[in-house]
Chain A
């Protein structure tokens, strides 16, 4: 008997990285899951690979667009009849670089993809969860939601903003059977990292290997975090045992964050 039997989950950015690991863990625990991504081919492949049959459904959408965020939550309800777990997970750094050289687009696009997407999907999901008086909202924040790292101002600002949003929403719906939490992973070598980080490293005058070493050096474990570690925390937060945890910014970062 899984810990999430009968639940319906929606995972943004669910075809790869943390989202994919979360989606797989949710399915393993008995949930039906909608995974989102921008690319229909990658989506079809992810659904195939996950092997969850009818319990996994892909909905394409760009999470930096409000219409797609709203449509994803509605699409989840249309397909599986309800939404119990929203995992607002999509995100990354668009054209990272030092503040002095950062374009308006780099800041705005990063905020849309990380922060606005979390707000849009959360608002839409709460519209279903408040009447049913139950739900779990999980946001993928980051260790960068608790500290600053040079060259990542847009990402750092967006993740800090997500943490504030999570704490506020948690206080608003705390008595309605709905919890709202953020997980704050340390650096993980996901596709997003291998795609985005080399540019960030270059902007900071270092190699990608230097950048990874910088992240692991700041931790206690001196290695990077892995997506499976995050998925297990998400299962706990989504399960009945997580009912008493809300407004929390859970660090899964090998001892990196200062608080």
Chain B
């Protein structure tokens, strides 16, 4: 008997990293899942690896594009008949730069990908959840939703904005059986980080991937990156019946990095 038996979840950026960890954890607790991603090939591989048969389906789409985000919500409802858990998890940067050098193009991309995605997906999901008077919205924010780091102003601004959006929406739907929360992970050692980390380290003038990890974890108490499984466990709690009275919360999974 799983904690999420009979529930339908949809996850943007669900084929890899934190989103994939959520998908795996939700499946293990009895939910069926829609995973979104940009690449057909990664989607196929993800479904193969999960081996969940009809309990998982891939929905191709770009999380920085409104029609694709709304399309994922609609797809989940059409395919599985309802949507109970909407994880707006995708996010990142493409060619980030300090404010003085930030291009309009990059800024717009980061706002669409990190902030507008959450608004588009949340709005569509709420329109479906409110008549049913049940639902869970889970947003992957970041420690950068409470702190600032040089060189990632767009990401930081978007994550701060997402936290405010979560709190407002939580109050709007609080009496309707719907909770809206953000998880704020610290640096998390995902497959994507292991793949792209060495390149990012080089771009930042650091000598190695380990130096990058150290830079991003020295502000924590545990002095190590967080694990995908740690973030996924919080997502399961928020999505389950036990999470019914937690809403508008900014749930840190950051090894003691944030001041509040």
Interface residues of A (CB under 8 A from B): 167, 170-175, 179, 186, 219-223, 225-226, 228-229, 232-233, 236, 239, 241-255, 259
What separation, in Å, do the CA atoms of A174 and B226 have in the docked complex? 13
Q: Mark B233-260, 1 if CB is under 8 A from A, else 0.
A: 1100100101111111111111111111
Of B175, B246, B250, B253, the residue contacting A244 (CB under 8 A) is B253
What separation, in Å, do the CA atoms of A241 and B228 have in the docked complex? 10
**Judging by beta carbons under 8 Å apart, are B233 and A254 in contact?**
no
Interface residues of B (CB under 8 A from A): 167, 170-171, 173-175, 186, 220-223, 226-227, 229-230, 233-234, 237, 240, 242-260
**Given known A-B contacts A221-B245, A247-B256, A255 and B237 have beta carbons under 8 A apart:** no
**Judging by beta carbons under 8 Å apart, are A249 and B226 in contact?**
no
Complex A-B: 11 CB contacts under 8 Å: A167-B256, A174-B221, A229-B242, A232-B237, A232-B243, A241-B233, A242-B233, A244-B254, A248-B254, A248-B256, A251-B248
**Judging by beta carbons under 8 Å apart, are B226 and A220 in contact?**
no
What separation, in Å, do the CA atoms of A211 and B63 have in the docked complex? 45
In the complex, which residues of chain A have a beta carbon less than 8 angstroms from the beta carbon of B242? 228-229, 232-233
**Judging by beta carbons under 8 Å apart, are B247 and A221 in contact?**
yes
**Judging by beta carbons under 8 Å apart, are A170 and B230 in contact?**
no
Q: How far is the CB of B138 from chain A (nearest CB, A)?
A: 15
In the complex, which residues of chain B have a beta carbon less than 8 angstroms from the beta carbon of A220? 170-171, 173-175, 247-248
In the complex, which residues of chain A have a beta carbon less than 8 angstroms from the beta carbon of B260? 249, 259
What separation, in Å, do the CA atoms of A18 and B259 have in the docked complex? 26
Q: How far is the CB of A170 from chain B (nearest CB, A)?
A: 5
**Judging by beta carbons under 8 Å apart, are A251 and B246 in contact?**
yes
Count A/B pairs, Cβ under 8 Å. 117
What separation, in Å, do the CA atoms of A170 and B250 have in the docked complex? 19
**Judging by beta carbons under 8 Å apart, are A250 and B251 in contact?**
yes
What separation, in Å, do the CA atoms of A225 and B179 have in the docked complex? 14
Of A228, A232, A246, the residue contacting B255 (CB under 8 A) is A246
In the complex, which residues of chain B have a beta carbon less than 8 angstroms from the beta carbon of A259? 250, 260
Q: How far is the CB of B159 from chain A (nearest CB, A)?
A: 15
Q: For residue A175, which residue of chain B has the nearest CB?
A: B223
Q: How far is the CB of B246 from chain A (nearest CB, A)?
A: 5
Known contacts A220-B174, A253-B249; 17 further A-B pairs (Cβ under 8 A)? A167-B256, A172-B221, A173-B221, A220-B170, A220-B247, A229-B245, A241-B229, A241-B233, A242-B233, A244-B222, A244-B255, A245-B253, A246-B255, A247-B255, A251-B249, A255-B249, A259-B250
**Judging by beta carbons under 8 Å apart, are A242 and B230 in contact?**
yes
What separation, in Å, do the CA atoms of A251 and B222 have in the docked complex? 21
What separation, in Å, do the CA atoms of A259 and B237 have in the docked complex? 20
Q: How far is the CB of B69 from chain A (nearest CB, A)?
A: 24
In the complex, which residues of chain B have a beta carbon less than 8 angstroms from the beta carbon of A225? 245
In the complex, which residues of chain B have a beta carbon less than 8 angstroms from the beta carbon of A219? 174
